[in-house]
Amino acid sequence: MILEDIKKIGIAGAGTMGSGIAQIFARKGYEVVVTDIAEEYLEKSKRLVQIFNESLIGEGIMTAEEASEAVSLISYSTSKQVFADCQLIIEAIVEKMDIKQVFWQEVEGIATNDAYFATNTSGLSINGISKLVENKSRFIGMHFWNPPHIIPLVELIRADDTSDDTVAVLRELLTIIEKEPVVVQKDAPGFIGNRLQFAAFREALHIVDEGIADIEDVDRAMRYGPGFRYPIIGPLQTADLGGLDTFYYISSYLFNELSDMKEPPEMLKKLMDTKELGVKSKKGFYDYSDGKDEEAIKNRDKMLFNMLKYIHMKK
């Protein structure tokens, strides 16, 4: 199948990610069908798509007419049979290996022989998920980042048997829907983004745990130091511009001081034990009571939208 043959996208999973992915493709004129196991989840998905559209309209990135057209291109169903005429099927269901494996085994019996299969898992093995799929050459990881209607990055993760054509076609498709695709050349835990994110998270926890700095200053240091650079240049180009000799010498003494802990630290375990899970429980590293949770999300999205507009301006 070539890129031009892709007209209809099937999305399995009507949560935040599935709904966001549906909105992204519909906005670019693709017919989309969203499935889930119950009508109540599909109704929530419709509301999520509306929220995503409203936020884009509010930022001047999308018009009301474009939003209406996008909504008209999305249909909903509780049956997997709707995948029979889809050229690309993206799975964003619960992050449990056995459930994903059975899902894809069932879908392969419904879909056309040349439809592309993609899983939106954020960390499970692509080889493992595709274990029961017979034609593994068309199977790939396609990891959108949350919130999907804002974050540009999409990671395409090769399984052992993913074909070059599958990678090439879906990479080009992602550029058409104005995403920034990167290719993960082998099935590595965490892919690229989460490996980088959790390396920084581990060191941030270590800095606080060692009493080097408090939570607020760790976050502030990232925002106004490395994080200020990274939307413009990544860590490797940062080293190029700073001088690889300088980075080599710093690495020679600093690497030995950085955390290499293999288990979550006690401070994180205590937050888990007390159910202080962040925004979802109104308290985590920070306090989110009295409306601070909604304020934090709105502020995050506002700043992300500003960055998104900047990226589009660069193009």
Active site residues: 122, 143, 155, 194
Residues 176 and 28: beta-carbon distance below 8 Å = yes
Residue 151, amino acid: I
Tokens 């449990």 map to which residue?
A: 96
Prior bond of 147 cis (ω within 30°): yes
Residue 3 CA to residue 176 CA, distance in Å, equals 10
> Which token pair is 169?
């076609």
DSSP annotation of 32: E
CA distance 36 to 93: 8
DSSP state of 277: -
Partners of 31 in the beta sheet? 8
Kindly state the tokens that stand for 201: 């998270």
